[in-house]
Structure formats: structure tokens, C-alpha cells
Amino acid sequence: MAGEDIIMMNQKELKKLSVIHKVIDKELTQIGASGMLNLCDRQIRRIVNRIAQEGDKGIIHKSRGRPSNRKIPSKTKDKILNLCKTRYKDFNPTFASEKLIEIDELIVNPETLRLWFIERGITYNKRKGKTHRSWRERKHHPGEMIQMDGSHHDWFESRGPKCVLMGYIDDATNTTFARFYEYEGTFPAMDSFKCYIKKYGIPISVYLDKHSTYKSTTHHKSIEEELNNVESLSHFEKSLKDLGVDVIHANSPQAKGRIERLFQTFQDRLIKEMRLRSIKTIKEANGFLAHYLPVFNRRFAISPIETTDFHRNLPERIDLDRIFSIKTPRALRNDFTIAYNNKLYQVLDTINTEKVTVEERIDGRLFISHKDKNLNYKEIIQKPVKKSSEKIYTFKPKTIWRPPMDHPYKRPLYKSTHLNAINYKQKQ
């Protein structure tokens, strides 16, 4: 009707108003109303008096429609949103909120920032729904199993060369380790694992995919492998075997979901952290990781089910350089030379063997060994060239072949000559 105010109430307020009206109409005591509304009887008296003075709108809280005392000022809001459009472009609300607090000292709740993004139409990457997979329980102990893989990505966002992040994550604690390399191959895998065990110790097992670096793709077994009836191993697998680390190969990327999700997080957070610092080289990125990963682990690592650490300490006299090397057997010739990578090497030590091992180290150094003992050698720069004797060409006169008289081509002539000879004899 004209002249009447429309009061908007929610269900909770309507329930409260109904109970208070019963108190006013003497149908319910104040003690009974306090029990129904979970309020003290003193608060019930206040509400009754307010409704008596203001009418039904007195049930509504006085702060409704008023700006909050904790409301962020408009200037601060505009400043935050401008930063999110420029410096923190494509950051999600949670990560943007963290960086605003850490770098700009601007405190804003991630949920508030999300609502502001919706209000201003600011877009950001959102996680997509994933196919349901069967659940595998975490390992109970740190070092019981680590997941390992390499991630190919434009980590420097065209500021520098494309590279690969070799990542490690403990299955029990989510403790993370990572390093950047130019490519994903045998030496990067060896070097990153070497750095990992120097920091944390030797794990019990490693869970990785079937990349040719981690699993041999050759179909030709060596004589020793044939005799022992064992599978061919990649150079990286051989190094882990020497350390006593079990290798478990995953049949799908989803099977090693922790390392895949870690890369997804790094491709969001780590890229933006390096963008803020204008990092554009692998050396700078690895230097930054040394400071970033401890902070990352403090936030995202979890407590294991069992606290006993299964990482093994490195033996005192272990030669990691020899373990993490590409070992190739080579036949030792009678003149104590071997061929490797199209080069010729002279072994200077006298040994009684038919085969030696060529060890190519991570840093590029080359060693020749026999039974884990290094041998002295030198490279033969100029290969001996066999003199070729000058060929003496002798020319023989070409003989002309003449067909006999009874040859098919000469038969007519043969017949006439033969008949003439017979006639001549008869005349005589």
C-alpha cells in the first residue's frame, strides 16, 4: 500500500521477530524466548523495547546497509587492483594476496580480492576439473620414496632460453628439490640426483616415468646381460643401482601425480617469482632456487606419518663422480690403443686384459679404468696413415676376336667356300 515501507528480512530475522511478537503478546516469557533464540534474557528485553519504539524494523541490525568499519579505502583498493593488472598480471587471488603482503605491504584477504576481480572483470588462470583416479596412500617415512621428473617449459617467459626444471618431491612429506638445466638427459638427471643426495641423503626408491633417460630402450643385450638374464639398464639406472636405490617406473603421468602437481604449481608461482626479479639465465634461476625452496617447503611440506627418516647418509669414501658417469666398455687392442667417439687413445700402463672401461664424467672429463683403477693415457692426435704404393698400369694389346667359319653369321660364306673346294678337288 502507498506510504508503507518494505522491510527486507532473512529467515533468521523473521524467526526472531515471530518469537518477540509472542513475548509482546504475553504468549511467551522472556526466559522461554531466550532459550529458543539462544540469547540472554537481557538481550530479549532490549529487542522488545526496540520493536516497541521503532516497530518491526527494529529487529534488523543497525549496521545493515552501512559501510564496514574494516572496509579498505577506495584509494587503497584502486592501488591494489592496478598492481594486479600490471605487476601481478594473471596471478590468482591467493598468490596475488601473498605477494601484496610480502612486497607491497598491502593486506587484503584472498576472498576479498577474488570478489574484486569478479567486480572489475579481471581474469586469472583457474584449475580445471580432473579425471578421478584411484587413491594411493602416502609413504609413511621421509626418504622411503621420492618422485622425480623433468618439466619442459618457457620458464623465463622469452626473457631467456628455454630450459628444463628437474624436480624432486618426497612422497611422505612433500619436501621439494629442483634445479634448472638446458635439457632433460642423462647428465642433468645424474647431476640433479647427485645434488639431492648431498643435501638430503640417499633415498630407498625413486618413482619416475619411462623416458629414455630413466629406462633403457635398447633391444640388444650385452653378453653379461644375456648370461645373467637381466634387463638392459640405462646409464642413470646403473648409477642408482650402484647406490642401492630401487627404481620404480610409472605407467602414466597420473600415477606420479605429486610431481606433476608440483610442476603445475611451479609453472604458476615460480615463473611469476622469477618475473618479479627479472631472472633470465639458468645460473640466476638456480641461485634463486637456493633461497626460494626453503621458503616454499616451510609453507607446503607436511608432517610424515612416521618421523624416522629413511634417507641413508653418504659413505665416507664414496666416489660420486665415478658413480655418476657414463661407463662404456672398450676393447683394448694389441698396441694398447682404444677407440672412443671417433678418437684414438693410447693406454700408457701395461695391463693384462682385453677390455677397459671408458668413464665420461658430468664435467666432461674422460677416464679410462680397469677394475675401478684409473689408467694413464693420452690422445693420439694424428693417426698413422698407411702409405699407398703407386700403382703401375700395364697395357696389353687388345686382341680382336674373329668368329670361326662355322659361326652362324658366316655359314653362307662357309658353305660357298666349302663347296668350291669340293668342286675343285673333283675337277682334278
Q: Where are the domains of the chain?
A: 11-59, 74-120, 146-219+228-300, 325-380
CA dihedral 112, 97, 172, 285 (to 10 degrees): 160
Q: Grade residue 17 by pLDDT with cuts at 50, 70 and 90.
A: confident
Q: Which residues, including other chains, have CB under 8 Å from residue 256's CB and lie 6 or more apart?
A: 147, 149, 207, 208, 209, 250
With beta carbons less than 8 A apart as the criterion, state whether 171 and 147 touch. yes
Q: What is the pLDDT of residue 26?
A: 81
Residue 220 to residue 217: CA distance in whole angstroms? 9
Residue of 8 and 274 predicted with greater confidence:
274
The count of other CB atoms within 10 Å of the CB of residue 241 is: 13
Q: Three-state DSSP class for 178? A: strand
Pairing of the two strands 163-170 and 146-153:
antiparallel
Q: Which three cell numbers stand for residue 330?
A: 672398450
Residue of 80 and 1 predicted with greater confidence:
80
Average of pLDDT values for 168-182?
Answer: 95
pTM of the model: 0.66
Residue of 181 and 397 predicted with greater confidence:
181
Pick the closest to residue 259 from 321, 218, 211, 312 (CA basis): 211
Kindly report, residue by residue over 72-120, the tens digit of the pLDDT.
888 888 888 888 888 888 888 888 889 888 888 888 898 989 888 888 8
CA dihedral 282, 285, 287, 290 (to 10 degrees): -130
Q: What is the pLDDT of residue 407?
A: 72
Q: What is the pLDDT of residue 37?
A: 80
Q: What is the pLDDT of residue 301?
A: 93
Q: Grade residue 422 by pLDDT with cuts at 50, 70 and 90.
A: low
Q: In what order do the strands lie in the sheet with 343-347?
A: 337-340, 343-347, 377-380
Q: What is the pLDDT of residue 410?
A: 67
Q: What is the pLDDT of residue 1?
A: 44
**DSSP letter (8 states) at residue 202:** B
Residue 104 to residue 106: CA distance in whole angstroms? 5
User: Looking up cell 632460453, which residue turns up?
Assistant: 161
Pairing of the two strands 377-380 and 337-340:
unpaired
Pick the closest to residue 277 from 157, 107, 122, 151 (CA basis): 157
What mean pLDDT is reported for the chain?
A: 83
The dotted CATH code for 146-219+228-300 is 3.30.420.10
Average of pLDDT values for 47-64?
Answer: 80
